[in-house]
Structure 1
């Protein structure tokens, strides 16, 4: 096994891959790339991802980009005895939350995160943050309902369906913003996630 993960360590998409690799106790080489780390415009990186985006996974002769696809690959190839859900019906019921995060949560969360975490204070669009946060709270009601029925989005046990949203909500619940929804089950869920040995040391890198 010869695994390399390319990507800057403060990227939420890279966090997904680094966290899962740690959960699976894989040995891998991490090459920071992107933003001030550079490398994306090199010929070497172009050969692994012509989109010049991170993360990228190299596993021997196999090269995969797109963070959600990398999650699915690592779980199936290396997580058969741990995080891989063998029953297809249960697996896809869990994995839908991966894509739900990307298509539904991220557009609103991204506005909040970019302005309050990435932007200097004098450049923040607080009106955009307020509008996005209000929309996000309503969106999160969907996950709140699911977690009122089971301990994880993935079912009774933690799996890759929990990974993208957990990384986002770890920051969401730490932000000093006005909230109107309680989301008791989501808060309990993120506290369970934070107890996982590999989570905070990866998720809190900004």
Structure 2
């Protein structure tokens, strides 16, 4: 890999950040496919491919907002303002992608490894979209635990909705990230 390519990769990683206000354009089918391909190269013990994606776009976002509203109400939320707010969440971006971890029983691959694999897949997905010029926001919230939501999405109760990823173009320019001082987070171990 050339120095300029390496710099571009690191710059893409260093500048990744969640963007809350997203507008059109959103990725087309080929751009999404490229991001899904990147996602599914994540570390994956025994190649179980526990990560799956559900795409919600166009008018389906309104239908999904209604489903989210029904889900939080089913979970016991009674405050109407909160219920109404959740209904509008899918309209924050032109495209939503739900990342799901479908756990598979395997004697050598515990659930936590499959969860970590999904996290890595999501990060690859975000970085691929960013490299293609798009912005994202990875959210979850209590609604991802909803049994009603899982059932309506065709998921099993033990499946994990690892995140709702909002995708589009940043509404305005975002200041670059400042460099992180890694010293408080890194230790070089030495035996005594």
Give yes or no for TM over 0.5: no
Between the two structures, name the one with larger relative contact order (CA 8 Å, sep ≥ 6): 2
Query: TM-score scaled by structure 1?
Result: 0.25
Structure with the higher fraction of residues in helix conformation: 1
Structure with the higher fraction of residues in strand conformation: 2
Could you say which structure has the larger radius of gyration? 2
